[in-house]
Structure 1
Amino acid sequence: MSIRTALGGLGFVAQVAAIVFITKSFAFAQVYIPSESMVPTLEVGDRLITDKTAYGWSRHSLLVDPHVSFPGKEGRLFGRLPKRGDVVTFTHPRTGETLIKRVIGLPGDRIAMKNGRLIINGKTVERDFKGDYSYRQYRGGSVAVRRYDEHLPGGEVHEIIEQTDHGYADNMAEVTVPPGHIFFMGDNRDNSADSRFAELGFVPEENIQGQARLITYSLHDCRPEPGLACAPRRFLSPID
């Protein structure tokens, strides 16, 4: 192999690497779901496409964090606030890991929980009971839950599940989302480490990575068992 051929090959590899870096940093990226915090919307094993263009870009959008904030409001170029109800990937402010949750509170919103009911700006959020079912948790035992359609202010409707309305996560004194921050919650309300807890708390807008748009395919492995629901595998399924 000649030096010219070798250099040509290296140049091609470098071009491909640059295209991949730019695409995954500024356009679209794939995310794997490792936990049950967003059940029933997302299952363990789902592979998602996230849209990095949805809210503008920050250092957390990049494949490699340069640890230098971008210019612009809240450290975001062409930054836009997500809407309540959007499913968003973001960087945990303390651990640096990538999480995915639903936007519940925007800057200035007042958020509280009382006996399992979400309260936004002093009004209890409407929810419609859809039914009971039981399923086997990932690497765990079976659990009985109640399904609800939750109606957020602004008209967004999504499904949540609750094991109980009287658990450790079902009551929270009212908090006000500070400027430049977001309040996130999981759809699996009794199995989600989210903004209700000090370990995460309010998430800076700068930490947003993108909006989850599409389940490309699922590796969710659910063996049918008597009396237990089994979530189907999904392919090219939009995320509500």
Structure 2
Amino acid sequence: MSENTKSSSGGLWENIKVLIQALLLALVIRTFLFQPFSIPSGSMMSTLLVGDYLFVSKFSYGYSKYSFPFSPNLFSGRIWSSDPERGDVAVFRLPSDPSVDYIKRVIGLPGDRIQMRDGVLYINGEAVPREQVGTYEPEGRYERGEPVPVYQETLPNGVTYNTLDLSPNSPGDNTREFVVPDGHYFMMGDNRDNSSDSRFTVGYVPLENFVGRATYIFFSIADDASPLEIWKWPTDLRLDRFFKSAQK
């Protein structure tokens, strides 16, 4: 074998090793540290929009079987567990179908009593302070042709965020009182009148089903655009959303 052939063969093997190492590193980061997610619906508008891509911290709440690819049944419950806090925007597995990821805001903690009355959120019998702070005009597939009222809520622990009020009398504006069981959480979307959440079919979410806490938006593009159409980026990218907090 000539020296040139040996050199070429050695260089190829080195490139393969570098590629394998990079893939393993990416797998470790995705499994234990941060996992990318994209927003598929408008249930968290205006905090999160369709076309937002964000990182979710896998270590914020510890690890369960849902933290890992293919959800291997290696153990039950969570290890190195840390409880979600009221107001966190979190990704979790749908209790009725754990193959499906949902993203909502933590509203009710274990033992809480949660109820909606005339569009106002009540926690343990106390109304959550709510004031209108402006309006919002949905874009793309959610465009309405008129601005939507935006309300700021302040939870008992001081966390503030905005919610949308698409309709003054929607099915989720008046509910029964929900009592959150031990080890479970009550999740709601910020787009209160267009969110399938714990008020409806989602139900209470077990701690085991949490995947992680949303951190930062790293990429955002108009909801009717494709990220692969790079030539359209100059008009479709939402640069003002890059590196924005995914919490509010």
Q: Which bracket does the TM-score occupy, shorter chain normalised?
A: 0.7 to 0.9
Number of aligned residue pairs: give it. 228
Selected match of 1:27 from 33, 45, 48: 33
Q: Distance in 2 between matches of 1:232 and 1:12?
A: 33
Distance verdict in 2 for CA 1:93–1:143, change over 3 Å = farther
Instruction: State the partner residue of 1:238.
Output: 245
Q: Distance in 2 between matches of 1:236 and 1:6?
A: 37
Q: Distance in 2 between matches of 1:126 and 1:148?
A: 10
1:162-196 CA-to-partner distances (Å, cap 9, x unmatched) read 11231111111111110111110000000000010
Instruction: State the partner residue of 2:57.
Output: 51
Instruction: State the partner residue of 1:88.
Output: 90
Report which stretch shifted further, 143-152 or 154-163.
143-152
Q: Distance in 1 between matches of 2:116 and 2:142?
A: 29
1:59-105 CA-to-partner distances (Å, cap 9, x unmatched) read 111122113434xxxx1111111111111011112222111110000
Instruction: State the partner residue of 1:106.
Output: 109
| Unaligned ranges ≥5, structure 1 | 224-230
Report which stretch shifted further, 90-99 or 60-69.
60-69
Instruction: State the partner residue of 2:148.
Output: 145
8 Å Cα contact 1:110-1:121 kept in structure 2: yes
TM-score, with length taken from structure 1 = 0.85
Q: Distance in 2 between matches of 1:47 and 1:100?
A: 12
How far has the Cα of 1:232 moved from its partner?
Answer: 7.2
1:10-67 CA-to-partner distances (Å, cap 9, x unmatched) read 6554433322222111101111111100000001000101111111111111122113
* TM alignment of 1:220-239, pairs within 5 A: 220-221=222-223, 233-239=240-246
* % same residue: 39
Q: Distance in 2 between matches of 1:128 and 1:194?
A: 23
Q: Distance in 2 between matches of 1:28 and 1:78?
A: 16
TM-score, with length taken from structure 2 = 0.83
1:217 aligns with 2:219: yes
SS of 2:31 mapped into structure 1: helix
Instruction: State the partner residue of 2:169.
Output: 166
Q: Distance in 1 between matches of 2:36 and 2:148?
A: 30
| Unaligned ranges ≥5, structure 2 | 1-6, 226-237
RMSD (Å), alpha carbons: 2.5
* TM alignment of 1:127-146, pairs within 5 A: 127-136=130-139, 138=141, 141-142=144-145, 144-146=147-149
1:189 aligns with 2:192: yes
8 Å Cα contact 1:143-1:163 kept in structure 2: no
More helix by share: 2
1:178 aligns with 2:185: no
8 Å Cα contact 1:114-1:172 kept in structure 2: yes
